[in-house]
């Protein structure tokens, strides 16, 4: 049953990508950035709804009312593709930090280019860090929020990876809050398998974490502690035990 549901989902997924690409991409460069987000995010709205409809997923979203009015840095755990789609809708317009290779995907990558992401060459980590810090601060000053996955890559449910502090550094330098987000999307949309799983998908938005007068290390420790505690609450897969949460150098 899950295989059939997943096949139906991907039929709609790729059809929507082609249709939206053909209809929206020629028009989008002519629009102001905020209206461009509104148009291209119609695809994201469809994918989120189509996934729920075809794969038997029940959404539970908590804390969206906690989002601040102004620009912020959103730090979320990264398990699969679902959150990269949904978090574009959480507080648009949002600039996403992503790997440069995604921009080369036909239609999908072309649309990403139009949304002014921060695209990194992960084979050059020192240059990538400098790029994140410089461009991230610029995007915040332009009024865009910045979305960063501090784990740096997809991490399967039940596993942990060291958090990177670049998002906390950007937020502290720009004087904007960090908004932590935790979800269990990888349990419904496995990151390395195409068959989807029915069930509850929970996403929780935490209280904004102030950065004024604080170091990035302090902000990151608080952010990671909240995300991991929330994941332990909402996840069906047990979380690994950690004796201490330390900010990476």
- Residues 201, 185 contacting (CB under 8 angstroms): yes
pTM, two decimals, is 0.91
Taking 60 as the threshold, does the pLDDT of residue 248 lie above it?
Answer: no
Task: Over range 152-164, report the average pLDDT.
Answer: 93
Q: How far, in Å, CA of 67 to CA of 48, rounded?
A: 20
Tell me if the domain spanning 58-234 has CATH number 3.40.50.150. no
Q: How far, in Å, CA of 44 to CA of 42, rounded?
A: 5
Residue-wise pLDDT tens digits, 169-188: 999 999 999 999 999 999 99
Task: Over range 18-43, report the average pLDDT.
Answer: 94
pLDDT bracket for residue 240 (50, 70, 90): confident
Q: Tokens 């949304």 — which residue?
A: 115
DSSP-assigned letter for residue 65: G
Task: Over range 202-216, report the average pLDDT.
Answer: 97
Q: How far, in Å, CA of 81 to CA of 154, rounded?
A: 9
Residue-wise pLDDT tens digits, 36-89: 999 999 999 999 999 999 999 999 999 999 999 999 999 999 999 999 999 999
Taking 80 as the threshold, does the pLDDT of residue 167 lie above it?
Answer: yes
Residue-wise pLDDT tens digits, 98-146: 888 888 888 888 888 888 899 888 778 788 888 888 999 899 999 999 9
Taking 80 as the threshold, does the pLDDT of residue 244 lie above it?
Answer: no
Sign of CA dihedral 46, 47, 53, 59: negative
pLDDT bracket for residue 242 (50, 70, 90): low
Rg (CA), the chain: 18
Task: Over range 153-180, report the average pLDDT.
Answer: 94
**Which residues, 6+ apart, have CB-to-CB distance to 174 below 8 Å?**
71, 73, 136, 137, 140, 141
Kindly give the pairing relationship between strand 199-205 and strand 178-183: antiparallel
Q: How far, in Å, CA of 41 to CA of 49, rounded?
A: 12
Give pLDDT, residue 239.
82
Q: How far, in Å, CA of 12 to CA of 81, rounded?
A: 16
- Cα–Cα nearest to 86, from 207, 239, 189, 197: 189
């Amino acid at each position: 049953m899950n295989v059939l549901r997943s096949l139906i989902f991907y039929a709609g997924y790729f059809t929507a990508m082609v249709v939206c690409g053909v209809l929206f991409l020629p028009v989008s460069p002519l629009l102001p950035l905020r209206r461009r987000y509104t148009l291209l995010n119609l695809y994201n709205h469809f994918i989120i709804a189509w996934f729920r409809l075809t794969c038997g997923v029940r959404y539970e979203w908590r804390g969206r009312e906690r989002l601040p009015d102004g620009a912020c840095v959103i730090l979320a755990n990264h398990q699969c593709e679902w959150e990269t789609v949904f978090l574009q809708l959480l507080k648009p317009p949002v600039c996403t930090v992503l790997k440069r290779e995604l921009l080369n995907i036909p239609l999908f990558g072309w649309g990403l280019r139009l949304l002014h992401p921060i695209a990194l060459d992960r084979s050059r980590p020192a240059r990538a860090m400098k790029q994140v810090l410089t461009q991230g601060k610029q995007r915040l000053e332009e009024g865009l929020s910045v979305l960063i996955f501090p784990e740096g890559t997809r991490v399967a449910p039940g596993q942990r990876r060291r958090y990177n502090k670049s998002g906390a550094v950007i937020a502290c330098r720009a004087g904007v809050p960090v908004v932590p987000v935790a979800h269990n999307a990888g349990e419904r949309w496995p990151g390395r398998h195409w068959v989807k799983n029915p069930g509850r998908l929970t996403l929780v938005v935490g209280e904004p974490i102030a950065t004024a007068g604080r170091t990035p290390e302090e902000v990151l420790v608080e952010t990671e502690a909240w995300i991991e505690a929330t994941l332990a609450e909402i996840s069906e897969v047990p979380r690994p035990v950690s004796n201490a949460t330390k900010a990476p150098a």
